Amino acid sequence: MFGKGYKGWLKDGLTPEAISCLCGGVPHQNAPASLPQYHEKTRRLAKLFDYYNAALFDNSLPQCSFSIAKLKYAWGVYTPDGTGNIALDVGLIDGGVRHYKVTTLVHEMVHHWQSYSGADHHTEGWHNGQFIAKMNDLGIAYDNPQNNCHDIIRWGKLDYAMQAEFRNT
């Protein structure tokens, strides 16, 4: 999806507003007018990012931008341009199960981690051995890139972090 460019993204169902967010724009400056709660939703994503960055990555991830878009083939997309952008599907944000929101966000955070850790995702692909190992280390059972499911490992890091988050909200 990353190399398709503007016309390819339009074909995939992304709106021009969402594309501008994916292309390194700061979400609150490029917020689609058709989504009045866009600012609040991206702020909540940023808070979740901060929480899971602390809980799972020891605050090692640099900040990135966030966007919400109508994605045709995925619940989330990471774009490594600039400081990085995590886009989540509007359907997932508006009506998805919390478990999937969190695991999709963490999945995209692992891509963000990869882009800053020196992984050669250009030749090996994004879902390479390093990605799979990191997902499993964080407590998400991930062994089949074709399946792309996010099963939380009971008593793993993510399971504990989610339980703590739920107790504090």
Report pLDDT digits (tens) over 10-64: 455 555 445 444 443 334 344 444 445 677 888 889 999 999 999 999 999 999 9
Is the domain spanning 2-168 CATH 3.30.2010.10? The answer is: yes
Q: Measure the CA–CA gap between 131 and 39, rounded to whole angstroms.
A: 30
Please report the pLDDT score of residue 123 as a whole number: 63
> Residue 25 burial by CB count (10 A; 0-12/13-18/19+): exposed, middle or buried?
middle
Per-residue pLDDT tens over the stretch 114-146:
888 766 666 667 788 888 889 999 999 876 655
**Biggest CA pair distance of the chain:** 44
